[in-house]
Amino acid sequence: MTGEVERFLIVGAVLFVIGALGFFTRRNMIVIVLSAEMMLHGVSLTLVTFSRVHHNLEGQAFTIFILTVAACEAGLALSLILALYQSSKSLDIEFWTELREPDLPPPMLAEDAEAAAGIPLPPLAFPRLPVAGRVPDIHDTRDAERVDDAASPTAESPTEPPKPEDVIKTASR
């Protein structure tokens, strides 16, 4: 039933859709751009498959142009992300919801809803390695203290994110 060509197209479609899903759901701007690049991978795979089906090289030539445009896009996106990061000190895309349509309501953030419902935030610390050069000891009380410090929500979570108005003022200054 499944042809030799169709399976490559199916993998391309799956990559495209998973990339689109990441683009829609993630809030880190860098992961969003990475998801867009993965959508381009799906399209490239489809084009190369078409090139094989028709036995000419147009699909491969198109894929080279996709590579070029992806490189340009990555460079521009990263400099944009750095500029936005300098304004808001965060990679969160939700800081820039001021750019939405004026008649739409502001988005409801998951952590705000959970805070309203009284659900505590999960610990945000990544596991920490001991200082280099010291023999790691899992019973070392100082390391345990350090992990406790990192796991406490006051140490990690920002106290108050800057308002978008302030951010825009900072950016325009």
- Would you say 107 or 145 has its CB closer to other proteins? 107
d(CA 137, CA 135): 6
* Minimum CB–partner distance for residue 124 and other proteins (Å): 5
Nearer to other proteins, 134 or 153 (CB): 153
- CB nearer to other proteins: pick between 122 and 133: 122
Closest contact distance (angstroms) between CB of 162 and other proteins is 14
CB of 8 to other proteins, least distance (A): 7
Cα–Cα distance, 64 to 74 (Å, whole number): 15
Nearer to other proteins, 51 or 143 (CB): 51
Nearest 5°: phi and psi at 93? Answer: -70, -20
- Contact, 19 vs 34, CB < 8 A? no
CB of 9 to other proteins, least distance (A): 5
Q: Is the dihedral of CA 130, 131, 136, 140 positive or negative?
A: negative
